[in-house]
């Protein structure tokens, strides 16, 4: 059972990080390319997504 | 499948082309080796369990024992431990999933069959789609559509403005990343494993047929490595079937739970 809980946590964390990067990185990229024509929003999006994903991981697995 | 050129061109490393197998009969375009193997696996799995369960006795025969061991593994270790009290409803699905994926994976190292159908990404996509519908359907039935979506999208205990950041990530996780990683994990493992075996076996064959004596002498090393990797592949194939079923069970458990 303990191993299964670990597998759950492991793949959930991977999933959250992927989603964070894809969604906010993608949003940043689109904003860069089509809306503001800047070059730094993709990076901001990636960082935002990663931060949000880590926060979610903490919310779900870090607090008791 | 073996695209070895004996002279002139040098070694042709295996590539994705080795996965595009031609139709078995010219006139039937869809009937390729992977399709045939999937049909074969369905027949084999059904046959095995029908035969092993037909003469069910208190003192089991060897066949019945083998069948029951697999069934008990899925029911107890995967379904009951993960899903909890309501597990019996999901045992048929998880059991079918596990045996089907396992059989198809192991076809990758069975002599003469030697092709894992799951290395064609369409098959894992369909399986993941089934799992996707099952766990969302279960969650919606259990909690109602709105409550279920609310539970997915809004993690409790967060200040309201932060939801702008978190909700898209949660929704992307549940509706995009989960089915995608489920299928791509299986696909990539089977694809890479098959490619790895092709490299060593075809490479060994090439070395053996090379006129250079040194190459001939060294070829057994390639074959030995190929055989060692075959055993390694067996482990990966079992593990991937297990992980696929385990994650499906975990997703169902998550959808059933009132709080995640």
Tens digit of each residue's pLDDT (9 = 90 or more) over B203-250 = 898 888 888 888 888 889 999 999 999 999 999 999 999 999 999 999
Residue among B99, B57, B44, B56 at smallest CA distance from B74: B99
Q: Which residue from B minimizes the CA distance to A11?
A: B247
Say what percent of chain A tops pLDDT 70. 91
Residue bearing tokens 């709080």 = B259
A2 assigned to some structural domain = no
Do the Cβ atoms of B247 and A7 come within 8 Å?
yes
For B120-139, how does the pLDDT look when each residue is reduced to its tens digit (9 = 90+)?
999 999 999 999 999 999 99
Rounded Cα gap, residues B34 and B24, in angstroms: 10
Nearest-CA distance A45 → chain B (Å)? 10
A19 assigned to some structural domain = yes
pLDDT of residue B16: 83
Name which of B82, B172, B178 is nearest A22 (Cβ-Cβ).
B172
| pLDDT bracket for residue A44 (50, 70, 90) | very high
Alpha-helical (H) ranges within chain B are 33-54, 62-72, 81-83, 91-106, 122-143, 145-153, 163-172, 178-208, 213-256
Rounded Cα gap, residues B65 and B124, in angstroms: 30
A46 assigned to some structural domain = yes
Is any Cβ of chain B less than 8 angstroms from the Cβ of A16? yes
Q: Are B45 and B233 in contact (CB under 8 A)?
A: no
- pLDDT of A27 higher than 90: yes
Is any Cβ of chain B less than 8 angstroms from the Cβ of A46? no
pLDDT of residue B225: 92
Report how many helices (DSSP H) and strands (DSSP E) chain A contains, helices first. 3, 0
Domain hosting A51: range is: 13-62
pLDDT of residue B215: 86
pLDDT of residue A64: 59
Name which of A8, A14, A23 is nearest B169 (Cβ-Cβ).
A23
* Chain B interface test: which of A2, A20, A26, A47 (most B C-beta within 10 Å): A20
Low-confidence residues in chain B, pLDDT < 70 = 1-9, 258-260
**Number of Cβ atoms within 10 Å of the Cβ of A44:** 16
Which residues are CB-neighbours of B225 under 8 A, at least 6 positions away?
Answer: B200
Q: Which residues of A touch B250 (CB under 8 A)?
A: 4, 7-8, 11
Rounded Cα gap, residues B107 and B159, in angstroms: 52
Name which of B162, B169, B250 is nearest A16 (Cβ-Cβ).
B169
**What does B184-251 look like in DSSP terms, one character per residue?**
HHHHHHHHHHHHHHHHHHHHHHHHHTSS-HHHHHHHHHHHHHHHHHHHHHHHHHHHHHHHHHHHHHHH
Q: Which residues of A touch B240 (CB under 8 A)?
A: none
Residue among B78, B73, B104 at smallest CA distance from B90: B78
Q: What is the ipTM metric for this complex?
A: 0.84
B106-128: b or e for each residue (b if 16 or more CB lie within 10 Å)? bbbbeeebbbbbbbbbebbbebb
Q: How many domains does chain A have?
A: 1
3-state secondary structure of A24: helix
Rounded Cα gap, residues A28 and A40, in angstroms: 8
Q: Which residue from B minimizes the CA distance to A63?
A: B157
Q: Are B36 and B24 in contact (CB under 8 A)?
A: yes
Rounded Cα gap, residues B137 and B217, in angstroms: 60
Nearest-CA distance B79 → chain A (Å)? 11
Do the Cβ atoms of B250 and A7 come within 8 Å?
yes
Q: Are B229 and B255 in contact (CB under 8 A)?
A: no
B13-43: b or e for each residue (b if 16 or more CB lie within 10 Å)? ebeeebbeeeeeeeeeeeebbbbebbeebee
Rounded Cα gap, residues B22 and B183, in angstroms: 24
A8 assigned to some structural domain = no
Interval A15-28 mean pLDDT: 92
pLDDT of residue B258: 62
Name which of A7, A52, A63 is nearest B169 (Cβ-Cβ).
A52
| pLDDT bracket for residue A21 (50, 70, 90) | very high
Residue bearing tokens 């994926």 = B101
Rg (C-alpha) for chain A, rounded Å, is 15
Q: Are B131 and B97 in contact (CB under 8 A)?
A: yes
A7 assigned to some structural domain = no
Do the Cβ atoms of B169 and A48 come within 8 Å?
no
Do the Cβ atoms of A52 and B165 come within 8 Å?
yes
pLDDT of residue B1: 45
pLDDT of residue B62: 84
pLDDT of residue B5: 47
Name which of A1, A7, A49 is nearest B169 (Cβ-Cβ).
A49
């Amino acid at each position: 059972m303990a191993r299964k809980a670990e597998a759950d946590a492991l793949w959930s964390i991977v999933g959250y990080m992927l989603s964070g990067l894809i969604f906010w990185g993608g949003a940043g990229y689109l904003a860069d390319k089509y809306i503001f024509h800047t070059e730094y929003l993709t990076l901001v999006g990636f960082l935002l997504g990663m931060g949000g994903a880590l926060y979610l991981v903490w919310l779900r697995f870090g607090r008791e | 499948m073996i695209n070895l050129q004996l002279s002139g061109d040098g070694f042709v490393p295996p590539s994705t082309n080795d996965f595009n197998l031609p139709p078995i009969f010219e006139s039937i375009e869809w009937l390729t080796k992977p399709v045939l193997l999937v049909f074969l696996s369905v027949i084999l799995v059904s046959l095995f369990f029908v035969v092993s369960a037909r003469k069910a006795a208190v003192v089991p025969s060897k066949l019945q024992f083998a069948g029951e061991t697999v069934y008990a593994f899925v029911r107890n270790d995967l379904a009951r431990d993960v899903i909890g009290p309501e597990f019996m409803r999901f045992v048929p699905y998880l059991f079918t999933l596990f045996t089907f994926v396992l059989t198809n994976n192991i076809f990758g190292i069975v002599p003469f069959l030697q092709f894992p159908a799951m290395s064609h990404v369409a098959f894992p996509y369909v399986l993941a789609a089934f799992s996707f519908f099952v766990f969302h359907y279960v969650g919606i039935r259990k909690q109602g559509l709105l409550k279920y979506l609310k539970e997915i999208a809004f993690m409790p205990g967060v200040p309201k403005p932060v939801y702008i950041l978190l909700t898209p990530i949660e929704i992307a996780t549940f509706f995009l990343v989960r089915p995608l990683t489920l299928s791509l994990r299986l696909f990539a493992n089977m694809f890479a494993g098959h490619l790895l075996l092709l490299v060593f076996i075809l490479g060994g064959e090439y070395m053996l047929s090379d006129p250079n004596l040194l190459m001939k002498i060294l070829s057994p090393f390639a074959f030995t490595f190929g055989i060692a990797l075959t055993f390694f592949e067996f482990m990966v194939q079992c593990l991937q079937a297990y992980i696929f079923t385990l994650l499906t069970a975990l997703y169902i458990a998550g959808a059933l739970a009132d709080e995640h």
